Amino acid sequence: MESTLIRNAMTIDVEDYFQVSAFAPHIPREAWTTIPCRVESNIDRILALLNEEGTKATFFTLGWIAERYPAMVRRIVTEGHELASHGWAHYRVTDQKPDEFREDISRSKALLEDIGGQAVLGYRAPSFSIGRHNQWALNVLEEAGYRYSSSIYPIQHDHYGMPDAPRFAYHPCSDKGLLELPITTMRLFRRNLPAGGGGYFRLWPYPISRWFLQRLNRLERRSAIFYFHPWEMDHEQPRQTGISMKTRFRHYYNLHRMEARIAALTRDFKWDRMDRIFLE
């Protein structure tokens, strides 16, 4: 089976550059309202890029963003994309108690459904912050009415990751309950290598990322789940001061190449929404 015949899931985590977890120690949430947002213009560029190849995607959107930019959210829906939840204000699940998490995911779901006029079925935890030690969150998601989660990255990472988790779709709570859809990895050298986007997509040369996805489609006959952020398309974003060299490298490396690489992905592979690929 050729890779072009397999639909892969294109996903976008809708948050602005100052909301990333790595900046949390430097930019308090109380300051968010004082910082000019750049998310609208970046979403405009993403929608235009996806439209060129007729690509449909899933937009995991923060409630904080949706509340301030409802017209942008409605445009995402109007253009045929899936609207899903990224929580309210990018709180890591590892920093929340069950009641706080339940309130967060219910509040964001209700707002997104009110603005978008369609059921919100999916959720992605900020910074993939569901793992081995907080599996209770998956049960809470199911109780809140979500059909699927894409919150676990089965890799080893210093801030997140559950390397022993299944690499492909599975039901963590019950056979017919919530579906967990892990970010794509490639199994090589007896370990899982990140192959599903984010900073790794900016780090690897594009031919390596393309080879990973081709191998997944052709040899494992699986759909990839790929993600990126609107701020990754924005190499002119303000530079944050006072951050470590490691954080600076991770956040800013190859931003100027990102738009062209996403455009190449839309030409080289077939893409669709999460709900159409995994729920239908």
Q: What is the pLDDT of residues 28-81, one digit of tens each?
A: 999 999 999 999 999 999 999 999 999 999 999 999 999 999 999 999 999 999
CA–CA separation, 269 and 7 (whole Å): 8
Q: Which of 159, 162, 226, 194 is nearest to 23 (CA)?
A: 159
pLDDT at 174 over 80: no
Q: How many domains does the chain have?
A: 1
User: What is residue 183's three-state secondary structure?
Assistant: coil
Q: What is the pLDDT of residue 24?
A: 93
- Candidates 160, 144, 162; CA nearest to 101 is 144
Residue 2 is predicted with a pLDDT of 44
Helix, strand, coil percentages in the chain from 3-state DSSP, rounded to 5 = 45, 15, 40
> Phi, psi (5° rounding) for residue 247?
-65, -40
Task: Please check whether residue 9 is in contact with residue 273, taking contact to mean a CB–CB distance below 8 angstroms.
Answer: yes
- Give the Cα separation of 216 and 222 in Å (integer): 6
User: Would the pTM count as exceeding 0.85?
Assistant: yes
- Tell me what pLDDT residue 157 has: 64
Distance (Å, whole) CA 116 – CA 39? 17
62: its two tokens: 């923060």
The average pLDDT across 181-203 equals 91
Range of the domain at 166: 3-278
Q: Is residue 46 classed as helix, strand or coil in its secondary structure?
A: helix
Q: Within 10 Å of residue 95's Cβ, how many Cβ atoms? A: 12
Which CATH number goes with the domain that contains 156?
3.20.20.370
